[in-house]
Amino acid sequence: MTQLVVEGLHKSFGAFAVLHDLTFSIREGSIHSIIGPNGAGKTTLFNVITGLYPPTHGRVLFNGADITGRPAHALAALGISRTFQNLQIFLNMSALDNVLVGYHLSCRPRLLPSLFRWPAVVRRDHEYRQRAEQLMAFVGLSAFVGAEASAMPYGALKRLELARALAVQPKMLLLDEPAAGLNPKETGDLDTLIQRIAERGVTIVLVEHDMRLVWAVSNHILVLDEGRKLAEGTGAEVRHNPDVVAAYLGEGGRHR
């Protein structure tokens, strides 16, 4: 079943068009990768889908509802969350509190009970803490449950951001270069983690330059070039597409 539809999406910054009339859809439960050279518009596409930028024109539909331009908390409530190409972790907070920020995005705290620390609120906080610890364990961060974020290595912070994105219990998770800056062992572990998240029924939208990871996990691949759809299909289809080879994967391109 189709979960996300991007319809005639166009994004310009001033006179500079970054996305051109982009149309594609993403199936529920799939691992859908979006690849393309630097500057192709992948992050901009994520920023438009997740409401950070309004499109110049075009629409984004999630389960049939128009979500164009909706803010992050509204999308979290619908089940859409993301990670960022440039890590967005609060380094002045503990690791666990960073994950708890994710829960606060998905629930509307009632001010009065929180002020008086009513028993129900204390119970709820305890429950969230337990769930945050479970999520940290799920992404392989049990050893950092008591850590300050500032004391964690880069690879662990990338996982922490993933745990925070999972805290809203998303139906769709957008990952912008989750393997960037990771060593080969950490990237290998990421394959398994992404597949385990997908097995929980979460649709994954993956922007990534690490082609080994892309080939390993993707059900479907969309190739962008200069803000336009260059090709899409299964890994085998995309890999052998002459346009993709010329622009991205072949001799001139930097990916193989």
Number of chain positions touching ligand ATP (CB under 6 A)? 11
Which residues are at the interface with Mg ion (CB under 5 A)? Answer: 42-43, 85
Alpha-carbon span 83 to 165, nearest angstrom: 6
Instruction: Tell which one of 4, 6, 9, 18 touches ligand ATP (CB under 6 A).
Output: 18
The least distance separating Mg ion from the CB of residue 144, rounded to whole angstroms, comes to 27
13 binds ligand ATP (CB under 6 A): yes
- According to CB under 6 A, which residues from 78 to 137 bind ligand ATP? 85
In the complex with ligand ATP, the residue whose CB is nearer, 100 or 244, is 244
In which residue are the tokens 């995309």 written? 238
32 binds ligand ATP (CB under 6 A): no
DSSP string for 146-195? T-BGGGS-HHHHHHHHHHHHHTT--SEEEEESTTTT--HHHHHHHHHHHH
Q: Count Cβ atoms within 10 A of the Cβ of residue 135 and give its class: 0-12 exposed, 13-18 middle, 19 or more buried.
A: buried
Two structure tokens written together for 222: 């969309």
In the complex with ligand ATP, the residue whose CB is nearer, 41 or 55, is 41
Element (H, E) at 119: helix 119-138
Q: Which stretch binds ligand ATP (CB under 6 A): 23-31, 37-45, 72-80, 166-174?
A: 37-45
Interface residues with ligand ATP (CB under 6 A) are: 13, 18, 36, 38-44, 85
